[in-house]
């Protein structure tokens, strides 16, 4: 197997999925898992999620069409940039559609007709930062998704929907991205869902609490903790038999089972440093160049090499900042040694640019058997659909 490549461990993915389903069964059996396509939409991953009963959670016309192509019978259509055609198709097909933009209300006005009921949900924009200081991704500027609760936009939209023939309010969507993935975030989400429904006297079919959970990290909150916190609060305003709880995990499911395997191709000494060059790159494990550290292990070809003070592990691209980490007082790495990055399945494969080298192979490991689930892209794939 030529490096670099991604390796999916099916048993780890299955364990994560089981843990999620067990926690849901325990705390809110009337529930749905919408797998977040954006987090990793490798077709094999999508087929796995479909086979495990997940709905497709999509946020663009392309993702919506991918969900249809992959044969998902249930789709949750979110996001501020839905296409009009796919939006109306989703509404008519009875999928879960959460409104996020004014223009979608205009589209509904055109489509509204008292003969046929269209159910829609509303993405809620609320002041998470004031409820969880320092934790919201939007920080002091606030989040930009959904209709704002505090300034009355949400109430106005609820009122507008009530006036449209055949349009029925079905649920609230409260996904929030956070810097911390803490239990506080989900406490705030659950409390906000209750406050809105109590105040507006709404009886939703579903409350969609979104994604953003930790997964595969024993010292962090588990699904059971998140669901315990949320269900205790939600039970005060919602009947678990009547209102379905929707979760939209991405990272927590698909980050843990995927590794990225690289090989040392050169070791270069300069007057200032010792650089270990590899055939992998930061663009494949940290395309946003934000990570401060990685989970990894080294598989040396030979043991017993001398200890060196510092080694800078670098990637194949020609960017100086394609440096992954520094080894201090560690055995000297040699050409042929492997460096394996762990837990890299989220926002990597689907965010990597086609920069200098194309997408690497993706392999699946299942009970020791390895198969290729996506061959690496070469020039043929790169030039497809173009004219010379
Ligand atoms: C609406 C929505 N749902 C779910 C997710 C998945 O989040 P995560 O991958 O952190 O679980 C996101 C990510 O941004 C999102 O925007």
Determine if ligand 1 sits within 6 Å of the CB of residue 178: no
Task: Say what the pLDDT of residue 388 is.
Answer: 84
Are residues 248 and 264 both part of a single domain? no
Could you tell me which of 346, 340, 338, 325 has the C-alpha nearest to residue 216?
346
Confidence of residue 304 (pLDDT cuts 50, 70, 90): low
For a substitution probing ligand 1, which of 35, 212, 246, 343 has the most ligand atoms within 8 Å of its CB?
212
CB of 61 shorter than 6 A to ligand 1: no
- Give the end of a domain, one of 254, 281, 309: 254
Pair (177, 122) in one structural domain: yes
Closest residue by CA, ligand 1 atom 4 = 211
- Ligand 1 neighbour 40 (Cβ under 6 A): no
Q: Which residues of 276-310 are buried (b: 16+ CB within 10 A; e: fewer)?
A: bbbbbbbbbbbbeeeeeebebeeebeeeeeeebee
8 Å CB contact between 297 and 262: no
For position 72, what pLDDT does the model report?
A: 98
Task: Supply the pLDDT for residue 252.
Answer: 98
The domain in which residue 279 lies consists of 258-383
pLDDT tens for 125-166 read 999 999 999 999 999 999 999 999 999 999 999 999 999 999
**pTM of this structure:** 0.96
pLDDT tens-digit readout, 227-283:
999 999 999 999 999 999 999 999 999 999 999 999 999 999 999 999 999 999 999
The reply to whether 243 falls in a domain is: yes
- How crowded is residue 193: how many other Cβ atoms within 10 Å of its Cβ? 28
Q: Is residue 5 part of a domain?
A: no
- Looking at residue 136, what DSSP letter applies? B
Task: Tell me, yes or no, whether 148 and 55 share the same domain.
Answer: yes
Asked whether residue 114 carries a pLDDT value surpassing 80, the answer given is no
Measured from the Cβ of residue 248, the count of other Cβ atoms closer than 10 Å reads: 24
User: Binning pLDDT at 50, 70 and 90, where does residue 170 land?
Assistant: very high
**For the chain, what is the domain count?**
2
For residue 134, report the distance from its CA to the centre of ligand 1, in Å.
19
Pairing between β-strand 5-9 and β-strand 361-366 as defined by DSSP bridges: parallel
> Is there an atom of ligand 1 within 6 Å of 57 CB?
yes
The CATH number for 235's domain is: 3.20.20.10
Share the mean pLDDT of the chain.
97
pLDDT at 39 over 80: yes
Residue range 343-356: mean pLDDT, rounded: 96
């Amino acid at each position: 197997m030529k490096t670099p490549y991604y390796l999916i461990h099916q048993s780890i993915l299955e364990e994560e999925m089981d843990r999620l389903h067990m926690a849901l069964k325990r705390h809110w059996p009337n529930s749905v898992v919408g797998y977040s396509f954006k987090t990793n939409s490798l077709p094999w991953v999508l087929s796995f999620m479909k086979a495990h009963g997940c709905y497709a959670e999509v946020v663009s016309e392309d993702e919506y069409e991918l969900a249809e192509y992959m044969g998902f019978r249930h789709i949750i259509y979110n996001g501020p940039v839905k296409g009009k055609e796919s939006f109306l198709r989703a509404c008519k097909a009875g999928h879960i559609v959460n409104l996020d933009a004014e223009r979608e209300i205009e589209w509904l006005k055109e489509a509204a007709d008292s003969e046929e009921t269209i159910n829609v949900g509303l993405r809620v924009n609320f002041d998470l930062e004031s409820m969880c200081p320092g934790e919201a991704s939007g920080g002091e500027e606030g989040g930009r998704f959904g209709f704002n609760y505090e300034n009355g936009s949400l109430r106005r939209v609820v009122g507008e929907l009530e006036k449209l023939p055949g349009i029925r309010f079905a649920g609230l969507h409260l996904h929030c991205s956070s810097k911390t993935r803490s239990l506080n975030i989900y406490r705030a989400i659950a409390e906000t869902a209750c406050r809105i429904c109590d105040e507006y006297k709404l009886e939703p079919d579903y409350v969609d609490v979104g994604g953003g959970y930790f997964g595969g990290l024993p010292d962090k909150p588990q699904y059971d903790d998140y669901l315990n916190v949320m269900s205790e609060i939600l039970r005060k305003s919602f009947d678990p038999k009547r209102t379905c709880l929707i979760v939209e995990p991405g990272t927590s499911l698909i980050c843990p089972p995927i590794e990225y395997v690289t090989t040392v191709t050169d070791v270069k000494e300069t007057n200032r440093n010792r650089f270990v060059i590899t055939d992998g790159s930061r663009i494949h494990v940290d395309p946003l160049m934000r990570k401060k550290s990685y989970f990894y292990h080294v598989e040396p070809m030979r043991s017993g090499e001398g200890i060196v003070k510092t080694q800078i592990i670098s990637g194949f691209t020609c960017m100086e900042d394609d440096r992954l980490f520094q080894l201090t007082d560690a055995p000297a790495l040699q050409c042929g040694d492997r460096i394996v990055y762990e837990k890299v399945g989220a926002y990597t494969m689907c965010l990597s640019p086609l920069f200098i080298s194309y997408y690497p192979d993706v392999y699946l490991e299942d009970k020791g058997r390895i198969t290729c689930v996506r061959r690496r892209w070469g020039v043929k794939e790169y030039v497809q659909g173009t004219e010379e």
